[in-house]
Amino acid sequence: MIEFKVNGQSISIDIDPEKPLLWVLREDLFLTGTKYGCGIGNCGACTVIIDGELARSCLLPVRKVVGKEVVTIEGIAEKGNFSDLQRAWIDEQVPQCGYCQSGMILSAAVLLESVPNPTPSEIRKKVTNICRCGTYPRIEKAIQKVAESKRQGGDNA
Amino acid sequence: MHNTKEKQFIVGLTATEDHIGKEIALNAWLEIGEGNHFTFFIPRAEMGQGIYTALTTLICEELDVNPNGKNVKVAHPDALLGEYTNFGMLEDANIKVEKEGIVSWMVKKVFNRFPLILTGGSSSVIDAWNRLRLTGAQTRWQLVEAASISWKVPVKECTTENGFVLHEPSGRKAKYFELAEAACQIAPPKNVELKAKDHFKFIGTDIKRLDIPSKVDGSAVFGIDTEMEGMVYAAVLHAPVMGDTIKAVDADEAESLPGVMKVVSYDNWVAVVAESFWTAKNALMTLKITYNENSGQPLNSLSIRQKQEQALAKKGKRQITKKGDVKAGIKKASQVLKETFHTPYLAHAPMEPLSATALYDKGIMKLWQSTQSSTVLALAANRAAKATGVNLKETIPHVSMIGGGFGIKAELDVPFQASYLAIQCPGTPVKLIWPREEDIRQDKYRPGVISRFEVGLDKAGYPLTWTNEIAGQSILDSLTKRSFGLPIKTGRIAKYKFTTEGAEKLYYSIPNQKIEAEVFQAPIQLGFWRSVGHSNNAFFVESMIDICAESANDDPLAYRKKILTGQPRLLKVLTELEALSNWRISLPESHAKGMAIWHSFQSNVGVVATAIHDPKKQTVTISKIDCVVDCGIPIHPDNIKSQMEGSVIFALTAFYFGEIEFKDGKVVQSNYNNYKMAKLSHTPEIKVKIVDSDHRPGGIGEPAVPPSIAAMANAVSKVTGKRVTELPITKMGFKPGLLGAM
């Protein structure tokens, strides 16, 4: 039995411990918001958050998350409402095809958690996921917008 | 009307409001449900271009319903109806069904029987502009008529407002839903007057895209996300050498692995069906496969280059354009300019790898795919039935959200393979996924092309003669051969169409022109890559025009203005571009601007790129893009901007990195680590200006790609002093630079 938490829920699953987390999430837990892009940890479509850190789940055997807390795109809404980042993503009309956006939003979430006030250069260095549609200008804008409102300490609830 | 309406792909602005209770179909495009809920059936695939929202807006404008209302949802219909045919695609072949006549009548008759439901060629809005506004207007007319009959009041006293019919004199008001049943019984007139542009309520405003909320919380269901009870997963591997087929497969080891169910091979591919995609993909690696080797010469990048050069050197190439007398003209020229350009083969590489799900049971095939065409799904199922000898009674094609298409997701092979596998596993849904390595190595590539120019300038420096010879593989020939077993005869203009696309008809006034093309055979499969032939020819033609301007000692923008004649829309784009980019303001050292304009997909786009050269590091960096677009009446301005930005990045990837190489018959690149993509750290500042226009809308998904590539090349040529004649930029000895992430 492999035991870990996903989006706050305890999971106990009888599965090959070598199966990558990506495929456990998608095929066994039906959390299809986490995407398969390259399978070599390059593109970032499979990005999840594990104990507060970013991880690319396509190469990560599920045994490595035993006892850990995994957050996927399905788990970042706050009490059923879109998070600040999700709302900024809608306001800036960021996604085109949308396939990479789960990974983008999670990468942005961890970036803002660790660097609440990122410089443009920090955003550009830290967000290394691929978007084939080219939504980068809007991703950058949406992240800056959330960072800005956090700086002003405004109530974003 | 048959609409199976499996609701899983429905999207709307809010996920909270469900459609419950009775629903009434007013026509093929619209259903109204209890509580005045509207479901629009949009038979075009949403791949990020915003088509669900754009087409819904067209109907809503005339229907008088707010497309951003909480009661509006969109679904891709499953029914293969004639009226869902994309007639806009035929305009490329100069067939306009809106013009009444025998050709139009026949075309409609044919496509009513064999609907061509296809999203591509930036044609969806071109197709829908009049048809869907008319549908909205006719439906509104029916609803108003129904109200006037029911209330026994004159039609002209009735008005509408956001889903309601009102009769102000008596204060009566009814939901469209309440009138829908009666409205269905009244035939609408063939023509209803459409609103003038200045009366638009929604067209031209920044309607929020209906699919976006589902794309920020993981709830959007892309084809690859199709999941259902009892599903099994398949991974596929193709013969790595192009043109080879599978001779035998030793699957003993694979079949002994836990979770593996079946190994199936056909033609040039073998698939493992297993309990998990991960298991299936791993099992592929254990197969011992022998191949029937094709008899051709071993293919490599050098041999392709030689084939291109041989084709170009051939006498008696296909003449595409002839104007004046080039031979006589060149004798009068004061300067003769010669240049040859090369482009590489390119893969589509959408973020969502190729995938299809099929369920075959008792003669019925259900398919789920993020495809650009439900017609192709039906065709693929028929092919699979034929190949396996089963009697297929019905195919139900579900078109799901596409995780990036760019032209690759209209191919027959993926749904054929899924159907073929499903027939081997009756009653069990099979989800096939191509590993990314297969996606890159078995793509239907944008062909690399060679283009040679000889241009004679007159005393004033203007082009007097223009000779352009172009050689490459024929895209259409490759497509018709693999899809229908029908090669195109040599000499037929269709064979050269996408090789010369955009180069065949210059909008610059040059009295003597000779444009010729040649195609050659190679076992590389080709397909439609965002902007197709234009992606090559804009780079060639607009680079050559820059060379002319340089030789004439003129400014590239001013020079273009002087040689454009009878092109008011492009001229306007140039003028706007000059202002937007501050063209005349000089830049610091090691910075330079370059520009290009291009007409494609019935839209006009001008781009100015700013490039920075670091001679020490040998890097070139595109730091800024100014883009002006005239795509006719702008339907959804923010989405037009979004498409321009995306096209610039798509062009930047091609410019910096894009190259598929061949070695020993195989493709060298395999994944994003060696087929690189531009990232946030490469992204230039992008400014977009939309020209307000009264023309019928053109496409927006593709037309900014060609001039972006060309403008980047012209900027780098200027800043480095070295003419960019080959792409990607690494071929010229430069490395792509990073922006703001040093």
CB of B519 closer than 8 Å to CB of B477: yes
Q: How far is A153 from chain B (nearest CA, A)?
A: 24
Q: DSSP secondary structure string, B364-409? A: EEEEEE--SBHHHHHHHHHHHHHHHT----EEEEEE-B-S--TT-T
Q: Which two tokens stand for residue B38?
A: 């509207």
Of A79 and B567, which is predicted with more confidence? Answer: B567
Q: How far is B215 from chain A (nearest CA, A)?
A: 5
Task: Scan residues 90-109 of A and list those with Cβ closer than 8 Å to B.
Answer: 90, 93-102, 105
- A98 and B220 within 8 Å at the Cβ level: the answer is yes
- A74 and B218 within 8 Å at the Cβ level: the answer is yes
Beta strands in A57-98 (DSSP E): 69-71
3-class DSSP string for B57-100: HHHHHHHCCCCCCCCEEEECCCCCCHHHCCHHHHHHHCCCCCCC
Chain B CB contacts of A81 under 8 Å are none
Within an 8 Å CB–CB cutoff, is residue A13 touching chain B?
A: no
Q: Are strands B685-690 and B619-630 parallel, antiparallel or unpaired?
A: parallel
CB of B479 closer than 8 Å to CB of B527: yes
Chain pair A-B, CB pairs under 8 angstroms: 192
Of the candidates B440, B363, B369, the one whose C-alpha atom is nearest the C-alpha of residue B411 is B369
Q: DSSP secondary structure string, B480-495? A: HHHHHS-PPPTT-GGG
- A90 and B208 within 8 Å at the Cβ level: the answer is yes
* d(C-alpha B522, C-alpha B307), whole Å: 9
Q: Which 8-state DSSP code applies to residue B288?
A: E
- B212 and A98 within 8 Å at the Cβ level: the answer is yes
Q: DSSP secondary structure string, B175-209? A: EHHHHHHHHHTSPPPS--PPPPGGG-SSTTS-PPP
Beta strands in B209-287 (DSSP E): 232-238, 245-250, 260-266, 269-274
- B679 and A136 within 8 Å at the Cβ level: the answer is yes
Q: How far is B740 from chain A (nearest CA, A)?
A: 5
- B47 and A36 within 8 Å at the Cβ level: the answer is no
Q: Which two tokens stand for residue B575?
A: 């003028």
Residues shown for chain B: 742
Within an 8 Å CB–CB cutoff, is residue B645 touching chain A?
A: yes
Q: Which two tokens stand for residue B347?
A: 């893969």
What is the pLDDT at residue B10?
Answer: 63
Q: Are strands B685-690 and B430-433 parallel, antiparallel or unpaired?
A: unpaired
CB of A133 closer than 8 Å to CB of A97: yes
- B649 and A136 within 8 Å at the Cβ level: the answer is yes
Task: Scan residues 312-351 of B and list those with Cβ closer than 8 Å to A.
Answer: 349-351
The pair phi, psi for residue B437, each rounded to 5°, is -60, -35
Mutation target for A interface from B210, B278, B627: give the one with most A CBs within 10 A. B278
**What is the distance between the terminal CA atoms of chain A, rounded to a whole angstrom?**
39
Of the candidates A99, A58, A104, the one whose C-alpha atom is nearest the C-alpha of residue A85 is A104
- B433 and A94 within 8 Å at the Cβ level: the answer is no
- B277 and A43 within 8 Å at the Cβ level: the answer is no
Q: What burial letters (b/e) apply to B377-416, b meaning 16+ CB within 10 Å? A: bbbbbebbbeeeeeebeebbbbbbbbbbbbbbbbbbbbbb
* d(C-alpha B275, C-alpha B232), whole Å: 5
Choose the closest CB to A90 out of B216, B350, B406. B216
- Average pLDDT, whole number, for chain A? 95
The CA–CA distances, whole Å, from B32 to B1, B39, B162, B176, B178 equal 15, 6, 13, 8, 9
Cα radius of gyration rounded to whole Å, chain B: 27
* d(C-alpha B693, C-alpha B540), whole Å: 29
CB of B63 closer than 8 Å to CB of B139: yes
- A90 and B212 within 8 Å at the Cβ level: the answer is yes
Chain A CB contacts of B406 under 8 Å are 132
Q: How many helices (H) and strands (E) in chain B?
A: 18, 29
3-class SS shares of chain B: helix, strand, coil, % to 5: 35, 25, 40
- A82 and B353 within 8 Å at the Cβ level: the answer is no
Residues 6+ apart with CB under 8 A from B171: none
Of the candidates A79, A40, A21, the one whose C-alpha atom is nearest the C-alpha of residue B276 is A21
Q: Which two tokens stand for residue B652?
A: 């930047």
Of the candidates B241, B292, B233, the one whose C-alpha atom is nearest the C-alpha of residue B422 is B233
Q: How far is B654 from chain A (nearest CA, A)?
A: 11
CA B701, B706, B707, B713 dihedral sign is positive
Within an 8 Å CB–CB cutoff, is residue B639 touching chain A?
A: yes
CB of B268 closer than 8 Å to CB of B246: yes
Q: How far is A34 from chain B (nearest CA, A)?
A: 7
Q: How far out from the chain centre does Cα B210 lie?
A: 20
Q: Tokens 């009513």 — which residue?
A: B112
Chain A CB contacts of B652 under 8 Å are 134
Residue B455: HSE in the Cβ half-sphere, 13 Å Cα cutoff: 26
- A137 and B215 within 8 Å at the Cβ level: the answer is no
* d(C-alpha B351, C-alpha A27), whole Å: 19
Chain B CB contacts of A35 under 8 Å are 222, 224, 351-352, 403
Model ipTM value: 0.97
* d(C-alpha B720, C-alpha B741), whole Å: 23
CB of A58 closer than 8 Å to CB of B281: no
B396 DSSP β-pair partners: B366
3-class DSSP string for B558-598: HHHHHHECCCHHHHHHHHHHHHHCCCCCCCCCCEEEEEEEE
Chain B CB contacts of A39 under 8 Å are 281, 435-436, 671
Q: Which two tokens stand for residue B508?
A: 């610059």
SS3 (DSSP) at B505: coil
Of the candidates B58, B29, B54, the one whose C-alpha atom is nearest the C-alpha of residue B43 is B29
Does the pLDDT of residue A157 top 50, yes or no? no
* d(C-alpha A15, C-alpha B294), whole Å: 43
Choose the closest CB to A124 out of B216, B351, B681. B681
Chain A CB contacts of B679 under 8 Å are 128-130, 136
- B672 and A43 within 8 Å at the Cβ level: the answer is yes
Q: How far is A84 from chain B (nearest CA, A)?
A: 11
Q: Are strands B430-433 and B355-361 parallel, antiparallel or unpaired?
A: antiparallel
Within an 8 Å CB–CB cutoff, is residue B278 touching chain A?
A: yes
- A95 and B402 within 8 Å at the Cβ level: the answer is no
Within an 8 Å CB–CB cutoff, is residue A41 touching chain B?
A: no
B218 DSSP β-pair partners: none
Cα radius of gyration rounded to whole Å, chain A: 16
CA B382, B385, B389, B394 dihedral sign is negative
Chain A CB contacts of B680 under 8 Å are 123-124, 127-128, 136, 139-140
Within an 8 Å CB–CB cutoff, is residue B216 touching chain A?
A: yes
Choose the closest CB to B403 out of A31, A74, A97. A97
The pair phi, psi for residue B266, each rounded to 5°, is -160, 135
Task: Scan residues 496-525 of B and list those with Cβ closer than 8 Å to A.
Answer: none
Of B3 and A97, which is predicted with more confidence? Answer: A97
Q: Which two tokens stand for residue A128?
A: 């290394």
Task: Scan residues 116-155 of A and list those with Cβ closer than 8 Å to B.
Answer: 120-121, 123-125, 127-140
Neighbouring CB atoms inside 10 A of B42's CB total: 27
- B649 and A134 within 8 Å at the Cβ level: the answer is yes
Choose the closest CB to A124 out of B214, B258, B741. B741
Within an 8 Å CB–CB cutoff, is residue A27 touching chain B?
A: yes
- List, for residues B645-655, the tens digit of each pLDDT value: 999 999 999 99
- A86 and B217 within 8 Å at the Cβ level: the answer is yes
Within an 8 Å CB–CB cutoff, is residue A43 touching chain B?
A: yes
Q: DSSP secondary structure string, B519-570? A: EE--S--B---TTTTHHHHHHHHHHHHHHHHHHTT--HHHHHHHHB-S-HHH
Q: Are strands A69-71 and A47-50 parallel, antiparallel or unpaired?
A: antiparallel
Reported pTM: 0.96
Determine the average pLDDT of the residues in A9-17. 97
The CA–CA distances, whole Å, from A35 to A25, B237, B433 equal 10, 21, 12
- Average pLDDT, whole number, for chain B? 94
- All domains of chain A in start order, with CATH: 2-75 (3.10.20.30), 84-151 (1.10.150.120)
Q: Which 8-state DSSP code applies to residue B317?
A: P
- A132 and B740 within 8 Å at the Cβ level: the answer is no
Q: Which residue of A has its CA nearest to B46?
A: A97
Q: In chain B, which residues have pLDDT < 70?
A: 1-20, 741-742
